[in-house]
Amino acid sequence: MWRRFKKNKLAVGGAIIVVIFFIISLLTPILSPHQPNAQNLLERLAPPSARHLFGTDELGRDVFSRILWGSRISLKVGFVAVGIFIFIGTLLGAISGYYGGWIDNFIMRLVDIMLCFPDFFLILMVIAVLEPNINYVMAVIGLVSWTGVARLVRAEFLKLKKQEFVEAARASGLSDMRIIFRHILPNAIAPVLIAATLGVASAILVESGLSFLGLGVQPPTPSWGNILTSGKDYLLHGAWWLSVFPGLAIFITVLSYNLLGEGLRDAMDPRLK
């Protein structure tokens, strides 16, 4: 798998950028040249320079520092939301695929109902009712995005539960939970890892969209989405950096996770062996 992955240059590049962004987010307090919310009205809307690499915003805050701190918010939302929907989807998919019958029918009908609603508009509706903050954003993204993982895990369990090693585990008297989590799930983890990688990109994009609409992370806490929101009002004033740099951060991050996920999917596909 590693040999196949290394041959995919785009996937390797995506993985490198993902690691770089992760390290940057960890080292943000050290790398940030200014406090993200420090205002200096004498330097408002200053263009990129040696003092302010990405310029300043309408309140004189350093855009580079705000993008660095915003990376922590975006990655936090991505990882926490993915953790929630991977846990729910894996658990329900495993139970559905292993037991079958009415349990399978019930869970799959629940999946069908959830799929009737576009994820983003469902998230948008729930966040509009609740108080917009980062905790609600992470929870809601996770709670509405588990259906794809559940279907992937169910399909793997339907295939694996008929294998000889599972029959041997049953014959030895092991409990259902032990068979599910110790014997079948480790062999069905590949599509889950791929879904998790792609899910981080999706969650970051959703959070940025919600923050851009004013329903995500609330100012003055910096996030890439709300930096874009303030930037759009000053494009006509020539302050292009307020939109270009956070937009590039979102684009590069989402693209990198997508390339990494696609590379993992190709590397783990047994048909390519």
- Residue 221 CB-density burial (10 A; 0-12 exposed, 13-18 middle, 19+ buried): middle
Tokens, residue 34: 């200014």
Question: Which candidate, 1, 67, 83, places its Cα nearest to that of 32?
Answer: 67
Nearest CA to 133 out of 173, 175, 77 is that of 77
User: CA-CA distance, 266 to 17, in Å (whole number)?
Assistant: 19
Hey, what CATH topology would domain 2-272 get? MetI-like fold (1.10.3720)
Q: How far apart are CA 161 and CA 188, in angstroms?
A: 11
Handedness of CA 61, 62, 68, 74 (dihedral sign): positive
Task: Note whether 253 and 74 are within 8 A (CB).
Answer: yes
Residues of the chain with pLDDT under 50: none
191 vs 51, 197, 211, CA distance in Å?
A: 46, 10, 30
Contact 142, 202 (CB under 8 A): no
Written as six digits, the tokens of 229 are 């929101």
* Cβ-based neighbour number of residue 130 at 10 Å: 14
pLDDT at 13: 93
- Candidates 262, 248, 209; CA nearest to 21 is 248
pLDDT at 154: 92
- pLDDT value of residue 270: 54
| Beta partners for residue 56, in sequence order | 62
Asked whether the CA dihedral 148, 269, 263, 77 is positive or negative, the reply is: positive
Tell me the C-alpha distance between 219 and 29, whole Å: 19
Residue 155's identity, in one-letter code, is A
Listed in sequence order, the residues at least 6 apart from 192 whose beta carbon sits closer than 8 Å to its beta carbon are 86, 89, 90, 149, 152, 153
pLDDT at position 191 is 86
